[in-house]
Amino acid sequence: MSRKPTVLFVCVHNAGRSQMAAGWLRHLAGDAVEVRSAGSEPADRINPVAVEAMREVGIDITDRTPARLTWDAAEASDVIVTMGCGDACPVFPGKRYEDWQLTDPAGRSLDVVRQVRDEIRQRVAHLIRTLDGPA
């Protein structure tokens, strides 16, 4: 039996896009995937509009805290999905990288954040289908 794949979602503040993506992956893949998220410049708290948008679809991300991106977390991940972190994201040979161009939900209305949430769900569902391992 192979080990489960590890996915790291990275955005600048780790307060919106990456937290919603991590929430979707946990929800859709369960414990078949190890899920991580981090930011190059983490915020003090999760974006409350992102929390509300995710709550609407039955996913609670209120217990999550923005975390700083570390070299170790990136190195230990099989897939690294970036969402606007730029040059702050370390690059390791042999890793699978995806860069998702998504609207930053910071300061946006709930309607805009819902659209971002739904786009992230579609991308996460596709990601799950393409992962190596038990997922």
- Among candidate residues 7, 11, 20, 35, the one labeled active-site is 11
11 forms bridges with which residues in the sheet?
39
Residue 89 appears among annotated catalytic residues: yes
- Among candidate residues 85, 120, 124, 127, the one labeled active-site is 85
Amino acid present at 48: P
Q: For residue 121, what are the contacts with CB-CB under 8 A and spacing of at least 6?
A: 24, 28, 57
| Structure token digits, residue 131 | 């992962």
- Among candidate residues 38, 53, 89, 102, the one labeled active-site is 89
Q: For residue 135, what are the contacts with CB-CB under 8 A and spacing of at least 6?
A: 4, 5, 29, 32, 33, 128
DSSP string, 13-61: SSSSHHHHHHHHHHHHHGGGSEEEEEESS--SS--HHHHHHHHHTT---
Q: Do 8 and 73 contact (CB within 8 A), yes or no?
A: yes
Residue 85 appears among annotated catalytic residues: yes
Active site residues: 11, 85, 89
